[in-house]
Amino acid sequence: MIRTDMLITGLGAVSAAGNGLAETLGCFSRTERNAGPVTLFPTAMNYPVFEVQRLPEAYALEGRRTLGLALLAVDQALEDAGLGDLCGLRVGVCLGTTVASQLNDLQFYTSYRQQGSAPLIAVDRFLKGNLSEYIARTIGARGPSLTVVNACSSGTDAIGVALSWLKSDLCDLVIAGGADELNHIPYCGFSSLGILNPGLCAPFDRDRQGLNLGEGAGVMVVEQKQCATKRGKSSQLFLGGYGSQADAYHLTAPRPDGAGLRSSLARALSEAGIQAGQVAFVNAHGTGTQDNDLVEGTVLADLFGTDLQMLSTKGYTGHTLGAAGGLEAVFTALALREGWIPASAGFVTRDEAIPLAPLREKSAIDGDYAVSTSLAFGGNNAAIVMGRGGKP
C-alpha cells in the first residue's frame, strides 16, 4: 500500500547555494558553485570549502554557528508551512549533526592543558549546545526531542526517526533535518584521510579527486495529514519511507558490494509501498571520492537501472556532514515541487567503471517518486523515499 498520509508541508535550507529556497533554486538553475578558501578559522591548508555567506545578524550566534544555521532553516520551514503559533500541537524536533557547536573549544583545551585552568564559557556552551533541545526551547515545541549524531547519515536518519514518531502518533508534526558548521577538526581530519580535493569536487566524474567540505542546514516540516487538513494546509509532497543499515565493514570506507546501501534502499521502498521502477530520480550521496561514488553508482544502477536520472547536489554545497541528509532531502522535495532537477555540478567525464552517469544539464522530472541517500563513516547507510501527487 502506497503511503501518502505524512505530508511535507514546509522546507527550509541555508547553504553555500543560497539562503532560502528562492536563492537555492537560482543557484541550481545557473549551475553556480560558490566555493573558496576558509575564512571562519585560521589554517595553513588551502583546500576550497563551501561556506555560508552573509548569515543574518539575528542568527550569528557567537561560538554556536551550527545552532544559528539550524534556527534559520527552521524559521524558513515554519514560514513555508504556514506555522506561527505552535500551541495546541504536538511538535517534535529531530535534527542530525556532527559538530553541533561543540567542537569550537580548542582554546579552552589548550588553556587547560597549559595553565591547568580555563574560562568555563566553553563548558556552558557545550551544556546548552544540544541542537534539537535548543531548537525546541526556542520555538516552544512540547513534543519529543532527539539529536542524531550518526556521522554523515545523521540528517537522513533524523528524518527517518521523525517518520516513525508520526506513524506511532507521538506527534502531530515534526521538524526534522540536519545542521553543521565548518570546523577546524573535521577539516584536518578529512585532510589526514587524503580525500579533500585541491580543486572543486566532481561527483561520479572519472577524474574525481575527493570532496570539498561545506556547511549549512536543511529542515522540513513533516506532519500527519489530518493535522494539516485541520489547520487548512495542503501539500502535494509526502514522506513515504525510510531505511537504514550498517555495514560494520570499515571505519571510513564503504563496503565494496554496497550491501548496506542495498538493504537501506529496499527497506525505504518497502515502507513507501513502491517498486524501484516507480522512482523518477535519486539525489545521491555522491561525495566525489573514489570509493563512495563507485560503490553508490554501482548499487543505484543495479536497483534502478542504468537509465536512472541521478545527481549529486554536493557540487553546489560541498559535503556538509551532519547537515547533508537534511539539505539533500529538502533539495529532493524541492525538485519534486518545482518539477525539475538541476545538473550535477562538477560532472564532466563519464567513469566507465560506474554503470550510470549523473545529469549533465537541468532536466524535467518524469514521475512522482524520488530517493535521497546517505552513506556515512562506520558503514552507516540511510535512504528516504518522497513523493508528490498525494491528495491533500
Residue 390's pLDDT band (cuts 50, 70, 90): very low
Average pLDDT over residues 204-212: 97
Q: Is 228 left (phi over 0), alpha (psi -120 to 50) or beta?
A: alpha
Helix 65-80 × helix 131-139 angle, to 10°: 50
pLDDT greater than 60 at residue 392: no
| Grid cell in block for residue 251 | 571505519
Residue 100 has pLDDT above 90, yes or no: no
C-alpha 145/C-alpha 240 separation (Å) is 22
Query: Do strands 363-364 and 279-283 pair parallel, antiparallel, or not at all (unpaired)?
Result: unpaired
Cβ–Cβ under 8 Å, residues 280 and 368: yes
pLDDT digits (tens, 9 = 90+) for 31-71: 999 999 999 999 999 999 999 998 999 999 888 899 999 99
Q: What percent of the chain has pLDDT over 90?
A: 85
Q: 145: which 3 cell numbers?
A: 526531542
**CA 74/CA 158 separation, integer angstroms:** 14
How far is residue 97's CA from residue 242's CA, in Å, rounded to a whole number? 18
CB atoms inside a 10 Å sphere around CB 198: 11
pTM over 0.85? The answer is: yes
CATH number belonging to the domain at 6-388, selected among 3.90.226.10, 3.40.50.880, 3.40.47.10, 3.40.50.300: 3.40.47.10
Q: C-alpha distances in angstroms, 352 versus 75, 183, 294, 355?
A: 44, 35, 10, 7
| 145-148 vs 91-96, strand pairing mode | parallel
User: How far apart are alpha carbons 264 and 383 in whole angstroms?
Assistant: 6
Q: Which of 22-36, 144-158, 246-260, 283-297 has the lowest mean pLDDT?
A: 246-260
pLDDT in tens, 283-292: 999 999 999 9
Mean per-residue pLDDT, 277-299: 97
Left, alpha or beta for 239 (phi > 0: left; psi -120 to 50: alpha)?
A: beta
Give 336-366 pLDDT, tens digit per residue: 999 999 999 999 999 999 999 999 999 999 9
Give residue-wise pLDDT tens across range 303-322. 999 999 999 999 999 999 99
264-267 CB contacts, 8 Å cutoff, 24+ apart: 264/373, 264/381, 264/382, 264/383, 265/299, 265/303, 265/371, 265/373, 265/383, 266/303, 267/241, 267/242, 267/243, 267/383
pLDDT of residue 391: 37
Measured between its terminal Cα atoms, the distance across the chain in Å is: 17
Q: For residues 90 and 100, what is the distance between their CA atoms, to the nearest angstrom?
A: 25
Query: How do residues 76-94 score in pLDDT, each as one tens digit?
Result: 999 999 998 899 999 999 9
Three-state DSSP class for 337?
helix
Beta bridge partners of 148: 96
